[in-house]
A and B are shown apart, each in its own frame.
Chain A
């Protein structure tokens, strides 16, 4: 799909600019959220919790951006009465921004867990699976942001499939943790932290999928929420 058809080409150049601005803000917000997750995973990987404060700082920026983008969307709704593609763009954006902000929150939550885990000197074994899950989620987030930037439905569907892998990975992590808790009941508290972190990572994956669904809605006008992947593929082909 040509980008210009989605944001450019209006008779009102100003409208084009406004839409373009919103889109670049969303991408910027995506970058910030991605950085949050990156820093969290870095801390986890290196066992150094000093980068966690950056995650919190980033979260404040993300929150601010969310409010800004929402305000701009409200203004466009009020002034331009967008229709069709433009309307879907605004709707999808407000929804996606909410998801991005949630992703930021989840990343921060993971960061807090990580700090807690590191500070308490938990057994690295308990969170080895977490790192793998995190990497997978990070990749999914990255792909999702690309999907959004390029407005590609094909990669959106691909991302949805990837989320199933994330879910599988999450299930594995849970299994591991349950095993771990059974064998090492002394570290149940730490394991629970890890479990919460894993859960948050899984939630990030879900938010990514929401964004992908929004992209499909934006481009195709089809609402694919609560629809099985096979049905979605059929609908889009």
Chain B
């Protein structure tokens, strides 16, 4: 009875839990990713719900970051990386020829592991996306956009006096929130976050997590994290990757109290790393 309820991994596999949803923002079907001859992602099927936070967890090298980077085609920058399958952003296959990566990335923003503000002023950082995509008509609109983006990230009060100072002078947590502000300034539909707090101290992490929670009301957020506690805190759904396979997807509350797959259990209780 107990043995049966926990599945083990085979070559052909089925994702445990509830990977598919009725209506979704992003839907991923049969996605395989290859780095040259090496397969990094195996037949992933997953739906990501609108205005939800979904977290991807798993041991290092399990493919969670690779998978995340498929969602805004950041993998395109790697020559040997090849993605097959279908990823739909609201019924539009993002790997379709008619889709321009530039347009896609304006719709699917990304925040990286290490805070990476441009070595320009705070203002320029936030304004950059709007500038290159031509989202505003004049300086006034741009000013407003910068202000509202910074406000949404709770950074406005901290930086309004020094908008023209270099962004690299901010603290790590502030830099990461600035990167989030920069991402939401182009008003994307989905925000991808690749271990956004791994370079931050616990207090800065808490502020970023709070921000993620607030943003989830308006954005669909996919977050890759090494911290299981973080996944538990910020996400509604959790996906567990293991050796390139999507092992289990479930409500976060289920995954962290009663995961259905043996591997998930072993990972989150600290038995495999």
Contact = CB atoms under 8 A, between A and B. Distances in A.
Asked if the two chains touch in their complex, CB atoms less than 8 Å apart, one says yes
A154 to B, nearest CB: 7
Contacts of A78: none
Interface in A170-221: 219-221
B268 interface: yes
B1 interface: yes
B258 interface: yes
Interface string B237-258: 0000000000000000001111
B260 to A, nearest CB: 9
Interface in A8-31: 9-12, 15
A87 interface: yes
Contacts of B266: 9
A9 B2 contact: no
Given A12-B270, A84-B265, A84-B269, A154 B1 contact: yes
A153 B265 contact: no
Nearest to B4: A237
Interface residues of A, number: 23
B185 to A, nearest CB: 35
Contact of A11 (B256, B257, B271): B271
Q: Interface residues of B: mostly helix, strand, loop or mixed?
A: helix
A220 B2 contact: yes
A6 to B, nearest CB: 10
Nearest to B264: A84
Interface in B106-155: none
B31 interface: no
Contacts of B269: 10, 82-86
B232 interface: yes
A236 B1 contact: yes
B3, B264, B271 interface centre (most CB from chain A within 10 Å): B271
A237 B270 contact: no
B36 interface: no
A86, A153, A154, A237 interface centre (most CB from chain B within 10 Å): A86
Contacts of B255: 84
A11 B258 CA distance: 20
Interface in A63-111: 81-88
B77 interface: no
A83 B232 contact: yes
Nearest to A4: B271
Contacts of B271: 9-11
Contacts of B1: 153-154, 236-237
A86 B228 CA distance: 14
A84 B271 CA distance: 12
Contacts of A153: 1-2
A117 B233 CA distance: 57
B3 A221 contact: no
A87 B270 CA distance: 12
A15 B258 contact: no
A80 to B, nearest CB: 8
Contacts of A222: 258
A105 to B, nearest CB: 30
Interface in B22-79: none
Contact of A219 (B2, B259, B272): B2
Contacts of B268: 83-84
Given A10-B270, A11-B271, A88 B258 contact: yes
Interface string B157-170: 00000000000000
B257 A87 contact: yes
B226 to A, nearest CB: 14
A86 B270 CA distance: 9
A10 B269 CA distance: 7
B259 A84 contact: yes
Contact of B5 (A10, A82, A154, A220): A220
A151 B4 CA distance: 16
B12 interface: no
19 contacts: A1-B2, A9-B271, A10-B269, A11-B270, A11-B273, A82-B269, A83-B257, A83-B268, A84-B257, A84-B258, A84-B268, A85-B265, A85-B269, A86-B270, A87-B256, A87-B257, A153-B1, A220-B258, A221-B258
Given A11-B270, A84-B258, A220-B258, 13 more contacts: A5-B265, A10-B271, A83-B269, A84-B256, A84-B264, A84-B265, A84-B268, A86-B270, A87-B257, A88-B257, A219-B2, A220-B5, A236-B1
